[in-house]
Structure 1
Amino acid sequence: MKTAIYVRVSTSRQAQAQTIEQQLHRLRTHMQEQGEDIVSDTIFRDDGYSGATLNRPGLDRLRDAVRAGAVGRVLVTDPDRLARNYVQLMVLLEELEHHGCQVEFLDRPMGRDPQDQLLLQIRGAVAEYERTLIAERMRRGRQMKLRAGCLLPWTRAPYGYRLDPDRPRDPVGVTVDPAEAAVIREVFARFIEDHSSLFSLAKYLRALGISSPTGRPHWSPTTLRGILTNPSYTGQVFAGRWRSRPPRSRRSATHPIGRPSDSSIPTPAEQWMPVANIPALISEEQFKQARDKLDQNQAFARRHNTRHEYLLRALVSCGVCQSGCVCRTVHPGYNYYVCRGKGDVITSRRETSCSARYAPAQQLDDLVWKDLCALLTAPEQIAQALSRAHGGGWLPQELQARREQLRKGQCGLEQQMERLTDAYLLGVIPLPEYQRRRQVADERMQGLRTQAEQLDAQAGRHMKLAGWAASAADFCQRMQSGLADADFARRRQLVELLIDRIVVTGCEVEIRYVIPLSPDGERGRFCHLRKDYFDDVAVPV
């Protein structure tokens, strides 16, 4: 029975303080006392991940290894390292035990005795209570410091200011960067007096060779809007200007999902909390004039033009540069889907214009709608696709991304080993040092190979799609009625539900369909049902 150990710390500061190494030392010592040795590929760790969520890469790899039968025993220091949420802890324990894995806690070994199970449940509830209590105390402490004016609400200074490196959260240590402050004053002056737009400001700053706050040569309109709406430049720092909410859509349907992140939305100005005063770069009157002009420009923005109907609005992507396509009407009756990469350098973020052609909107709309109707009236195509998936032709996007990351990691490690060998042959490093580093690299490579094998086993389980074809056929039968006489609203509703993305590459059109396989999947768009994108609620598909 192969034994694995799991360790976790909540913050990067704890990871730097070596508290995770203390957990590893205790677990290694315990295994050595039992006469067992631990290898690197059986250590699963999460540095800087909260125990309140199950979205942790180390924990995911551990669960995959248990499902694949590669691990039969898991050793953890205490239950709150595994999860700080009582329900999640019980779910994890039940899942691991269901696959024949035994979970042991170092602080107090737990058996199958009812008293031990009761004590484990109590410890899980206490851990959840402690986490909630600590989070509330920290929130209240930050709030009191903000009200007292001794704590800044941001850890990164706005463009034009510098923080004291020894006291980065102290308002007294905020100073003005003369060069960046001159850029801020110029931005406000040109926007107010010269009636410039955000795009023209971005082009102007790029022409001057001024780098953006992130060091890039391109200034985005979003960055400039953030500067023009930041009241800190008037000398008053506010807290609570934004609040977070769960994401409502995917970043891009043609790119890997990535880690979920919340969206920020502004709060009303009357709810802002004044914190401290810092050196002012502009006057209150300039800031008000800039806000008024932004509001006026937003009211007349082209994106509010809904005179024309586009069936595939926000669903078309360019197959050449993977950018999204916008809708454009050149003349009445001449409607197109145009790649964003064909715009100027500020809009496209590309040095060269995309070579893709304009896609005629009416022809593309008719083509996609005809194909969608054919799919709904011939559900055997869906059954064939499910059959191919059962044979390995399809894998979840998250699993594909993890496989690709492992492949890149193996390639990078092989390059490191080649450079290490070259350094030894050239006499840069002695033989003992080369052998030590090569052993470490070999262990890491073996760990990556083990992870790849576990992912292959997980991919095999994802291929169990039997029974879905019947559900898809039932859905298609219910959707067939009214297709011929459907108006634009009905067509748009079906397109949003059943199409994830349309990729146009020259004369080729790729339609990525999404067929609901349960009644719950018919209630929302595909991007709202992605379990690997949204961390808060797992909606069945």
Structure 2
Amino acid sequence: MKIAVYVRVSTQRQAQTQTIEQQLDSLRKYHEAQGWSWQKEHIFRDDGYSGAKLRRPGLDRLREQVSRSMFDRVVITAPDRLARNYVHQMLLIEEFEHGGCQVEFVDRPMSHDPHDQLLLQIRGAVSEYERSLIAERMRRGRRQKYLAGGLLPWTHAPYGYRVDPAHPRDPAGVRLEPAEAAVVAELFTIYLQEGRSLKSVTQHLIDLGISSPGGKTRWNQATIRGIFTNPVYTGTVYIGRSRPTEARGRHSALVPIGRGRGGHTQTTQEEWTAVTQVPAIISQEQFDLVQAKLARNQQFARRNNTAYPYLLRALVSCGTCRLGCVGRSSRGGYAYYVCHGKSHGIISRRDEKCPARSIPVEQLDELVWQDVYEMLTHSDTIATALYRAQGGLWLPQELQARRENLRKARVSLEQQMERLTDAYLANVLQLEEYKRRRLELEQRLSVIAEQKRQLEANVGQHDQLAGMVQSIEAFCQRVQQGINEATFEQKRQLIELLIDRVVVTGDEVEIRYVIPTSSKSVTIRFCHLRLDYFNAPMLSNKCQEAFGGRHRGRQTCDSILNLLLHLPQRVDSLSFELEDLRETRPL
């Protein structure tokens, strides 16, 4: 019997105080009492991860291995170590049982008895209530300290200020750093001059050799804008200036998958709440003038210029420097996709410009659209690639034959065990010989049971694959009806839906397709499906390369399809390269 162990603590402080080791000691003693072997490689642990979320590295690895029927039992100290939310507990328990793995809690073993199930529900609800109560009390306690002026809402002091190292959150310890405060005052003054922009102010700091807040020689325009929009330089500290938001898309299509990180949305000034006063660097009037100029300049930014249409807008990347490309049109009527790496160093954040050539818009748009047209009119090729990735098209008679062979093998072993028992009862065999032979037969039976479990799991995956193929073929048939008369806007919508990225490297064009696998994903762009990116489990290098595009070349369906079928939460889109459909096209 293969047994997995899962342990978790919510904070790094708990991890440092050895509370996770206490869980391991309890589980080790439980193993000894049951006569089970303790194997360190079967321990899955999450140090400092909240039980309110399912995305945890240790849990992701456990779920991935359970889906491949690698364990018969998972042992955990208590239900709240598995998840704080009762719905999450039920989801995980059902998922483990579906993979042939039983969940067992040490402090209170659970069965399918209605009383045990009711107790599990009550404990899950209590854990969820306890977590919500603690979080709300902490939030209200912090807010009361903010309003009383006894706590700073800073994790790091803004540029130009210093705090008392012994009491970094105490407002009384805030003081000015003379050199940095002079830089801040100079920035506000320079920006208000006629013709000044964020780019010119950033370049001015770089030319002067002034170090950035992070101690680097290169400044970022976003850093300068953050300084200009921070009202703390007027002498007042506010809370409620922003609220956290979840990320809707990936940071980049050409970088490996990382932990999902959202951003912050700026709130209106009416929602700000003043909490304390600090030494001022600029006047309120100067701050308001800078805000007005920022808003005015933002209206004339290039990203707001929609005079020229680009079919592949925001979908093209440079294979040389791995940066995105933007559309640029000249007065002579020529349009190109230009790599960000060819821009000024302040924008590209690189010392050297990208050597890649600009990409003609008309040629690339036509090439990609023709490729999309061929793909949609040959949907049978997609089905062939999917079936090949899953190991070939299974025939019903082949499946029945494999099931029958496993059944016959199991019946034969059970008959041998019966005859062996009869021989022992008839005093033909000694007890030691009987135990040795019976143990061998039991081991062979467990192997047969494991083979049957894997076969049934593969059958379920094949059924899911067949449903995907039907959905893809239906989608292609619907699109084919009006694809020849599609307008530019309709082509653009189709391109956004079916293409994740177009990577241009020299004379080669690599198109990364995204095929909708259900009716729910027909209207959503792949980069907006957060389950595909942020909630994916910890992937192998092969899967990370296939999703993140770490290298050029062919990406087969195998790693992506296996990822799709083993995701803890089902995704609605499948991204892969179709080897049989096309090769990398020359531009």
Alpha-carbon distance in structure 1 between the residues aligned to 2:388 and 2:255:
23
Q: Is the 8 A contact 1:251 1:257 kept in 2?
A: no
Distance 1:70 1:380 in 2: 34
Q: Which amino acid aligns with 2:64?
A: D
Give the whole-Å Cα distance in 1 for the aligned partners of 2:466 and 2:357: 41
Give the Å deviation of 1:103.
2.0
- Counterpart CA distance in 2 for 1:256 and 1:121 is 39
Shift of 1:83: 0.3
CA distance in 1, matches of 2:515, 2:306: 29
Q: Secondary structure at the match of 2:522?
A: helix
Deviation at 1:232, TM superposition (A): 0.8
Q: What does residue 223 of structure 2 align with? A: 223
For residue 436 of structure 1, what is the aligned residue in structure 2? none
Distance 1:13 1:174 in 2: 28
- Cα–Cα, structure 1 residues 473 and 136, in superposed 2: closer, same or farther, change >3 Å? same
Aligned to 1:421: none
Query: What residue is the counterpart of 2:373 in the other structure?
Result: 373
Contact 1:157 1:163 in 2 (8 A): yes
Which residue identity does 2:572 align to in structure 1? P
SS in 1 for 2:103: strand
Contact 1:529/1:538 (CA < 8 Å) preserved in 2? no
Report the counterpart of residue 11 of structure 1 in structure 2.
Answer: 11
Tell me what 1:343 maps to.
Answer: 343
Output the amino acid matched with 1:308. Answer: Y
The change in CA–CA distance for 1:17 and 1:183 in structure 2 (over 3 A counts) is farther
- Measured against aligned partners, the alpha-carbon deviations of 1:337-377 in whole angstroms (never above 9, x if no partner) come to 00001111111111111111000011111111122112212
Contact map agreement 2:337 2:358 (CA 8 A) in 1: yes
What residue is the counterpart of 2:131 in the other structure? 131
Looking at structure 2, the residues matched to 459 and 285 of structure 1 have their Cα atoms a distance apart, in angstroms, of 69
1:167 partnered with 2:199: no
What is the deviation of 1:36? 4.3
Asked whether 1:176 is paired with 2:208, we answer no
> Which residue of structure 2 lines up, in the alignment, with residue 106 of structure 1?
106
2:572: which partner in 1? 540
SS in 1 for 2:38: coil
Report the Cα distance in structure 2 between the residues aligned to 1:490 and 1:15, rounded to whole angstroms: 54
Task: List per-residue Cα deviations over 1:435-490 (Å, max 9, x = no partner).
Answer: xxxxxxxxxxxxxxxxxxxxxxx999989734433322221111012222222111
Q: How does 1:383-462 map to 2 (within 5 A)?
A: 383-391=383-391
- Deviations 1:164-223 (CA, angstroms, capped at 9, x unpaired): 222222211222222222221222121123642111122222222222222332211111
Relative to the length of structure 2, the TM-score reads 0.77
Amino acid at match of 2:177: D
Aligned to 2:473: 473
1:280 correspondence with 2:312: no
Displacement, 1:159? 1.3
Counterparts of 1:290-369 in structure 2 under 5 Å?
290-369=290-369
Match of 1:270 in 2: 270
What corresponds to 1:438 in structure 2? none
Partner of 1:51: 51
| CA distance in 2: counterparts of 1:287 and 1:538, whole angstroms | 49
Residue 295 of structure 1 deviates from its aligned partner by: 1.0
Q: CA deviation at 1:39?
A: 3.1
Deviations 1:138-161 (A, max 9, x none): 111111111111111121111122
Structure-2 change in CA distance of 1:459 and 1:267 (3 Å): farther
Q: What are the superposed Cα offsets for residues 112-144 of structure 1, whole Å, 9 maximum, x if unpaired?
A: 322111111110111111111111111111111
Partner residue, 1:148: 148
Alignment correspondent of 1:93 = 93
Residues 461 and 250 from structure 1, CA distance in 2 versus in 1: closer, same or farther, beyond 3 angstroms?
farther
Counterparts of 1:239 and 1:329 in 2: how far apart (Å)? 43
Whether contact under 8 Å (1:243, 1:266) holds in the other structure is: yes
The one-letter amino acid paired with 2:42 is T
Shift of 1:320: 0.7
Once the 2 structures are TM-superposed, how far is the Cα of residue 72 of structure 1 from its aligned partner?
2.2
CA positional deviation for 1:272: 0.7
Normalised TM-score (structure 1): 0.83
Greater shift, 130-139 or 30-39, is seen at 30-39
Check 1:461–1:199 CA distance in 2 against 1; reply closer, same or farther (3 A cut).
farther
CA distance in 2, matches of 1:486, 1:540: 25
Aligned partner of residue 531 in structure 1, secondary structure: helix
Q: 1:380 is matched by which residue type in structure 2?
A: D
Is the Cα contact below 8 Å between 2:258 and 2:534 reproduced in 1?
no
- Cα distance between partner residues in 2 of 1:387 and 1:343: 44
Cα distance between partner residues in 1 of 2:194 and 2:19: 57
SS in structure 1 of the partner of residue 323 of structure 2: coil
Confirm or deny: 8 A CA contact 2:245 2:265 kept in the other structure: yes
Provide the rounded CA distance (Å) in 1 between the counterparts of 2:489 and 2:69.
50
Percent identical among aligned pairs is 58
Q: Alpha-carbon deviation of 1:24? A: 2.2
Given the superposition, is the C-alpha separation of residues 535 and 324 from structure 1 closer, same or farther in structure 2, using an over 3 Å criterion?
same
Q: Which moved more, 1:236-245 or 1:376-385?
A: 376-385
Amino acid at match of 2:322: Q
Output the CA distance in 2 between the equivalents of 1:179 and 1:22. Answer: 51
Instruction: Give the Cα–Cα distance (whole angstroms) in 1 for the partners of residues 319 and 459 of structure 2.
Output: 30
Q: Which moved more, 1:471-480 or 1:357-366?
A: 471-480
Structure 1 contact 327–335 (Cα < 8 Å) conserved? yes
After superposing the two structures, state which structure 1 stretch, 230-239 or 240-249, moved more: 240-249
Report which of the two structures shows the higher radius of gyration computed on alpha carbons. Answer: 2
- Per-residue CA deviation, residues 73-129 of structure 1 (Å, 9 max, x unaligned), is 222221111100011101111111222322222222223322111111110111111
Residue 539 of structure 1 deviates from its aligned partner by: 5.6
- 1:310-329 per-residue CA deviation (whole Å, 9 max, x = no partner) reads 11110100011110001101
Paired residue for 1:410?
none
Q: Secondary structure at the match of 2:213?
A: coil
Q: State the SS of the aligned residue for 1:158.
A: coil
* Gaps in structure 2 of 5+ consecutive residues: 393-456, 537-568, 574-587
1:224-239 to structure 2, matched below 5 A, reads: 224-239=224-239
Q: Distance in 2 between matches of 1:254 and 1:460?
A: 34
Between stretches 260-269 and 25-34, larger displacement belongs to: 25-34
Partner amino acid, structure 2, of 1:62: L
Q: Which residue of 1 aligns with 2:549?
A: none
RMSD over equivalenced CA pairs, Å: 2.3
Partner SS state of residue 330, structure 2: strand
| Distance in 2, Cα, partners of 1:141 & 1:266 | 23
**What amino acid is aligned across from residue 540 of structure 1 in structure 2?**
D
Offset of residue 538 of structure 1: 6.3
Letter matched to residue 240 of structure 2: G
Q: Is the 8 A contact 2:249 2:530 kept in 1?
A: no
CA distance in 2: counterparts of 1:526 and 1:264, whole angstroms: 22
* Map 1:166-205 → 2, pairs under 5 A: 166-193=166-193, 195-205=195-205
**Corresponding residue for 1:427?**
none
In the superposition, relative to structure 1, how do residues 470 and 247 fare at CA in structure 2: closer, same or farther (>3 Å)? same
* One-letter amino acid of the counterpart of residue 296, structure 2: Q
Give the Cα separation in 2 of the matches to 1:189 and 1:73. Answer: 67
